[in-house]
Amino acid sequence: MHVAVIGASNKPERYAYQAVKLLREKGHTVFPIHPRIEEIEGLRVYPKITDIPEKIDTVTLYVGAIASAGMAQDILNCRPRRIIFNPGAENDHLEKQAKEAGIQTVRGCTLVMLKTGQF
């Protein structure tokens, strides 16, 4: 599965870093997204979701509503199958837009979902 991690981090204590690492361990193809980081765990980091050359199945958000609002149109234009709003990344407007576009939305923790087989 191709997964975009928006708000990816290169700091091991951050959940966004742990998500990148665990997604890879579980066999997913991970595309970290952050405008100022070039590499995480040996993976190229993309400045924007529109820079990813592959079709994205899942977008998992690790940024707040203000940040995700600024990239909402790019996220929606990528037409992922689903968007995961991790705790603290909830964005009611983006969630509504995604549902209207036929994109599944999940309010949940990517790490918990991966560790419990619900991803």
Q: What is the CATH number for 44? A: 3.40.50.720
pLDDT digits (tens, 9 = 90+) for 25-81: 999 999 999 999 999 999 999 999 999 999 999 999 999 999 999 999 999 999 999
pLDDT digits (tens, 9 = 90+) for 92-116: 999 999 999 999 999 999 999 999 9
Average pLDDT, the chain: 97
Residue the block writes with tokens 């609002």 = 69
Residue 6 bridge partners (DSSP): 33, 61
- Please give the residue range of the domain that contains residue 38: 2-115
CA 12, 23, 30, 63 torsion-angle sign: negative
Q: How far apart are the first and last CA of the chain?
A: 10
Query: Considering its fold, how many domains does the chain have in total?
Result: 1
In this structure, which amino acid lies at residue 42?
A: G
Residue 44 bridge partners (DSSP): 39
DSSP reduced 3-state for 59: strand
